[in-house]
Structure 1
């Protein structure tokens, strides 16, 4: 017992209990603290009930004070296990400038709350402060990065790792501890509003970026440095394949599809050392993920050896009452399945009763508490419960955000040969609903931005265009609806210019009049919101007025470049067919407009590559490249193939790829820049299985490497093979290198790989492979 218990003489107590000894092994500290806790205190560690913004309020003199709601919550369980969103700012939380915590006072607020939590805890157990970090910390004045889909378009794990490290440093400097980051969802249906939160449609690309995320945010080692943050990887598993692209719907996935497509990123994150994962909303084979013991314990813990924390998504535990009959048994089901920490649920508040009633074992309760405590020890919160005050340079965050934005801009076609803009272009009309705003470049889960922060496409062109260039502007239309009154002004500006830049797309910008579900998803779409959580589409069309604007501008005869800013691959075949050039930048962040301008002007090469296939219409779905290798027929009324394939992206130069060749345990290819400008190509390695124990996919990405070449330069690019790249999911659902024959294809995109000259290798089921001369190419 501790000195706080007056029934025991202080002289009889050890000076330092083992759990407070920083030199003691972590297991010893966890076990000692757990042995001292009451059932009520244990249950409190597993609850994350409060919305953090309800824990405090700003006083008239500008300071923060704690609320009665926080007092009640900490009294309820004699402390607090975790607090979600203390610094979250957005339309749902209602936090904005100037009432919310900014860079200058977030750490003071976090320390104020932490001091109160420790005072209310008999054992002085600190709280975890859990924050949303989907593409930068979702707090006022934090760096906003491009969304995950844009990160996927960079094909650059190294750059993303540096950006993730910066986001973690900002989070910790402001008093946050744990980062919730989407990484595991695979974009298999672009109608889903959360497509922007996916790295793309491919499990291999997503796995490499998930590893980069974990390395960047967490660093290495068991203990977290003061500028590193444990990551909660969202969402486990299969949420990117819900029926009809509808949020939180069921996922009709066979186990093979789950293992081949939706689990590799999670497994990569676990192997990289991810501290936690979040159970998804959807169900797998009839059982919701938050209550799915086969998934959370049988697979994640027993087979993969994961020892970290499992968090439920918001109110997901209470949803289990639909199948258990009440929230007490719902909490018991989730705990027994493997959930350690709830989010806003009532079910976990009744775990003491659930144990007493025999609905779940005390051992399961203790195991979950131990995992929560272990994370707190790994963060050093018992020795350093308050914020390590450091300054994280704002300019560094802006530079990284801009670098990512520049790297995600993807040139889809330039049939008119108008890019980059040449000296003959003396006047440019910058048109469209995205042309002069940064609000729609940011994506969902973004804090309010201060006026003037960021750069639109119009801003970028006006600042960077050669002196004397006349840059005109007309909005033309809104993002949504069919209002066309502004089109004549846009047409006049285009007709009077040498070139038109038409900036179209969608938006995930929430507004204060958005109606929200209890978990923060948009319930009713308002204003110009066309994407984001809760904003699912039956079709993939833009607002109809945007197509009318596109038709009218192109009809002027002025060469037109269409730039798409979007959170999903919208269907705009009209731009593909009729615009002189087409590019997409996804949601490129605050400074994305400047990055787009740099690419248009040739100050930067377009180096992005598609992380998803782009459909011609929603009627074609699915169009992902790695479907099963079956002779699919076409449609009678439409082409069945994508408009642009996964991996596609053009440069301002051209490249030639020689046939690949084996070299030891690697494959090499000579790549030559055959154009007149320096440029970067992404060398993509695909495999096509010929002889295999299970039915194969048409192609599978198994490696990639970027190479930057001067005009005329040739370089040999080496891509390693081996178990990690040649393995497949076998009939027993285990991943291993199985005997068979595969083709290795190297190309610039999935579509190009279909006709690339392959090298054929025979696998012996181990680490060895050969290139048999008698195998036809």
Structure 2
């Protein structure tokens, strides 16, 4: 088939209207749709193949297209979307040497796109859909801290800038659409995908989802800028509520719990202009999200007014055959429910059969194709189907990643004021623990292979940043998993001979080629050091056995100790005696720098907890915003979390004045009463007193980070998010959910 002429090469009178850049976007879509066969339409709704199967390296270092890509484009005379062309990880098997990197990724994307456009009778380009969980998941892509760390920053503005950088990297490589986890809310931290959540609170998640959309997509507009990318918000809806914290397990969600906890982030993302959402794996009241018309059409489209694209999660449409009896009817069910674009499924490839068999009307196909084509026109792919922006400076990405990591480091406990490290009297520091000398386990799941030398461990950074003359000793002590104690004596000796111990513990989501994978890429057979990530759920939330023995032995030396946790979920930590404890979550490759800066006092511990930290898994659930009932305690253990949502200590002190109301705004005076600069997060909680249904204990409704110099006082004004709130309520302002329970309330009557 001859390659269609570029639009600019044709005489205007011969050019179809869909090829006219000056024509209204919707008119271009209608014109193109009217020219398509049913087979071509169905092809636009399929995202069947894995992108890494579309190419291979040639002996001269270039790329060639595979027979698999030719077969896929022949099937529907084109290609609607291609998933993961740039993806690199243990599941795809792509790494340095055989995959596209920063130097040739755009060339590969152009090679594939030229083939797709040439194979299409109407010259329709493909959408290149890429994973961007915490930066573009591609070789040489900037790796950002995971979402849980972003949640700990409580800083939407910083996250927005980081998201904009990730979008620019994606578009510079020839990618178009970013898949980003943003909608899941942690209700059970045993779930391995906890690291992909912003936290346990819907308001915090909503503000960060807005920031993500603004950063990735830019200001709402008909056309996306060349360095901005449409976002697919994952996962809609309620996936964080699976029973027992088990991946893809059933959920027990009533409509109120769904509305109050699991939908606000999606609602905020839609209002911010999100281009697409992904239907989740889980079911809601027995109906999987990919087949749930009440969720995808009646709520999302009709009630919320969403006009964007709905994508199914990987192989989720095929699963509907368990309900419908076969894959043809499964595809019809998903399309009728509101799914526009499939992912790896067979069911959507058979939509022609579904139309011919009367299972679904062709008008439903047209509606879905319209949304796919509209996104392609908004991206300008018919005028410029190839990468059209220069890559952003890599050093900017590293700086943003480090800034986010620094903002997320959270000081949980420091009764003896061990931190920041004092230069007087501390000349020997022992850096021990399985996370102390590696950056390989700092980046979380969905991370591409890193080039040797990328990143900085805590040990690396302390050696670079400690005052001259400081002796740094190191001993690993033990592995992340297992019970081997053979290295503990060396670590104890180093601790006993030092003035301070930095004990770096934690977990890992790093996959290896030996990991067994499900068909959708989730870990099935966990190997090596994995304790977190998709498919890696824990029953007990405990660290590796040897880590607890190492902790006990180091604390027993009596040397002042700072425990650093690098983790993708809140693990259970026993009593640490007088040790200081801070968590950095998965801070990204350069997180070691951020941690060292906080330890040494070069930066403040600015993070605040986005989740409650349990004392044991037996307490679960422990989220702060439970229903306001008279809970009894346990006979054998406290029912309170070890550390509450919103908690985080500073190296200075802050005083809060009484809250005052000014219309729909609450004001409060905040004073830095300490001796050094610090940042606090002013948190505004709502407590419903008289209401039509049983209330929650507290609900976060506003927050703002405030940096103050010693002695500085500032009046902070926080607009209240009170949509749908009525009756008599209390407003409580504090620096954590636990402190809010004792804070002076401001009573408002919203019944008028």
Work out whether the TM-score is over 0.5: yes
* Change in CA separation of 1:573 and 1:305 when aligned onto 2, cut-off 3 Å: same
Please give the per-residue CA displacement for 1:239-290, whole angstroms capped at 9, x wherever unaligned: 0010100101111011100000000000000000000000000000110000
Please give the per-residue CA displacement for 1:472-491, whole angstroms capped at 9, x wherever unaligned: 10000000000010000000
Please give the per-residue CA displacement for 1:678-710, whole angstroms capped at 9, x wherever unaligned: 111000000101111111100000000111111
User: Which of 743, 746, 763 does residue 733 from structure 2 map onto?
Assistant: 746
Where in structure 2 are the equivalents of 1:445-594 lying within 5 Å? Answer: 445-575=446-576, 578-594=577-593
Tell me how far 1:106 sits from its aligned partner. Answer: 0.3
Correspondence for 1:324: 324
Where in structure 2 are the equivalents of 1:637-652 lying within 5 Å? Answer: 637-652=636-651
Correspondence for 1:669: 668
Question: Secondary structure of 1:573's match?
Answer: coil
Please give the per-residue CA displacement for 1:62-102, whole angstroms capped at 9, x wherever unaligned: 00000000000000000000000000000000000111100
Alpha-carbon separation, structure 2, partners of 1:14 and 1:337: 41
Question: Secondary structure of 1:235's match?
Answer: strand
Correspondence for 1:208: 207
Alpha-carbon separation, structure 1, partners of 2:389 and 2:65: 21
Tell me how far 1:586 sits from its aligned partner. Answer: 0.2
Please give the per-residue CA displacement for 1:683-740, whole angstroms capped at 9, x wherever unaligned: 000010111111110000000011111111111111112xxx123xxxxxxxx243x1
Alignment check: 8 A CA contact 1:746 1:756 kept: yes
Alignment check: 8 A CA contact 2:3 2:117 kept: no
Where in structure 2 are the equivalents of 1:140-151 lying within 5 Å? Answer: 140-151=139-150
Correspondence for 1:303: 303
Please give the per-residue CA displacement for 1:502-532, whole angstroms capped at 9, x wherever unaligned: 0000000000100000000000110000000
Correspondence for 1:434: 435
Where in structure 2 are the equivalents of 1:13-162 lying within 5 Å? Answer: 14-162=13-161
Tell me how far 1:189 sits from its aligned partner. Answer: 0.4
Correspondence for 2:621: 622
Correspondence for 1:768: none
Correspondence for 2:252: 252
Pairing 1:760–2:722 present: no
Alpha-carbon separation, structure 2, partners of 1:639 and 1:4: 71
Alpha-carbon separation, structure 2, partners of 1:515 and 1:259: 36
Alignment check: 8 A CA contact 1:417 1:580 kept: no
Question: Secondary structure of 1:440's match?
Answer: coil
Correspondence for 1:393: 393
Pairing 1:604–2:603 present: yes
Alignment check: 8 A CA contact 1:279 1:313 kept: yes
RMSD of aligned residue pairs (Cα, Å): 1.4
Where in structure 2 are the equivalents of 1:229-240 lying within 5 Å? Answer: 229-240=229-240
* Change in CA separation of 1:656 and 1:15 when aligned onto 2, cut-off 3 Å: same
Tell me how far 1:177 sits from its aligned partner. Answer: 0.2
Tell me how far 1:662 sits from its aligned partner. Answer: 1.4
Question: Secondary structure of 1:257's match?
Answer: helix
Alignment check: 8 A CA contact 1:566 1:587 kept: yes
Alpha-carbon separation, structure 1, partners of 2:693 and 2:671: 37
Please give the per-residue CA displacement for 1:742-770, whole angstroms capped at 9, x wherever unaligned: 101000000000000011011135xxxxx
Alpha-carbon separation, structure 1, partners of 2:673 and 2:373: 58
Pairing 1:274–2:274 present: yes
Alpha-carbon separation, structure 2, partners of 1:336 and 1:270: 21
Alignment check: 8 A CA contact 1:153 1:408 kept: yes
| Runs of 5+ unmatched residues, structure 2 | none
Please give the per-residue CA displacement for 1:87-124, whole angstroms capped at 9, x wherever unaligned: 00000000001111000000000000000000100000
Alpha-carbon separation, structure 2, partners of 1:13 and 1:611: 56
Alignment check: 8 A CA contact 1:541 1:570 kept: yes
Alignment check: 8 A CA contact 1:610 1:648 kept: yes
Correspondence for 2:722: 726
Correspondence for 1:243: 243
Alignment check: 8 A CA contact 1:744 1:758 kept: yes
Tell me how far 1:389 sits from its aligned partner. Answer: 4.4
TM superposition outliers: structure 1 runs of 4+ over 3 Å: 2-5, 10-14
Alignment check: 8 A CA contact 2:168 2:391 kept: no
Alignment check: 8 A CA contact 2:3 2:119 kept: no
Alpha-carbon separation, structure 1, partners of 2:391 and 2:448: 20
Correspondence for 2:341: 341
Tell me how far 1:664 sits from its aligned partner. Answer: 3.2
Alignment check: 8 A CA contact 2:183 2:197 kept: yes
Alpha-carbon separation, structure 2, partners of 1:352 and 1:271: 34
Alpha-carbon separation, structure 2, partners of 1:425 and 1:322: 64
Question: Secondary structure of 2:441's match?
Answer: helix
Tell me how far 1:658 sits from its aligned partner. Answer: 1.2
Tell me how far 1:537 sits from its aligned partner. Answer: 0.7
Please give the per-residue CA displacement for 1:622-669, whole angstroms capped at 9, x wherever unaligned: 000000011100011100010000000000001111111112331111
Question: Secondary structure of 2:160's match?
Answer: helix
Alpha-carbon separation, structure 2, partners of 1:142 and 1:216: 17
Tell me how far 1:15 sits from its aligned partner. Answer: 1.1
Tell me how far 1:50 sits from its aligned partner. Answer: 0.6
Alpha-carbon separation, structure 2, partners of 1:691 and 1:375: 46
Question: Secondary structure of 1:363's match?
Answer: helix
Alpha-carbon separation, structure 2, partners of 1:310 and 1:287: 17
Alpha-carbon separation, structure 2, partners of 1:556 and 1:3: 74
Question: Secondary structure of 1:704's match?
Answer: strand
Alignment check: 8 A CA contact 2:329 2:359 kept: yes
TM-score by length of 2: 0.98
Alpha-carbon separation, structure 1, partners of 2:551 and 2:177: 45
| Runs of 5+ unmatched residues, structure 1 | 728-735, 766-777
Aligned length, in residue pairs: 746
Question: Secondary structure of 1:574's match?
Answer: coil
Tell me how far 1:12 sits from its aligned partner. Answer: 13
Please give the per-residue CA displacement for 1:385-418, whole angstroms capped at 9, x wherever unaligned: 1111413100000000000000000000111211
Alpha-carbon separation, structure 2, partners of 1:318 and 1:665: 48
Alignment check: 8 A CA contact 1:107 1:389 kept: no
* Change in CA separation of 1:12 and 1:759 when aligned onto 2, cut-off 3 Å: closer
Correspondence for 2:378: 378
Alpha-carbon separation, structure 2, partners of 1:44 and 1:28: 21
* Change in CA separation of 1:359 and 1:420 when aligned onto 2, cut-off 3 Å: same
Tell me how far 1:443 sits from its aligned partner. Answer: 0.3
Alpha-carbon separation, structure 1, partners of 2:402 and 2:664: 37
* Change in CA separation of 1:664 and 1:117 when aligned onto 2, cut-off 3 Å: same
Alpha-carbon separation, structure 1, partners of 2:95 and 2:408: 29
Tell me how far 1:11 sits from its aligned partner. Answer: 12
Alpha-carbon separation, structure 1, partners of 2:508 and 2:717: 40
Question: Secondary structure of 2:14's match?
Answer: coil
Tell me how far 1:3 sits from its aligned partner. Answer: 11
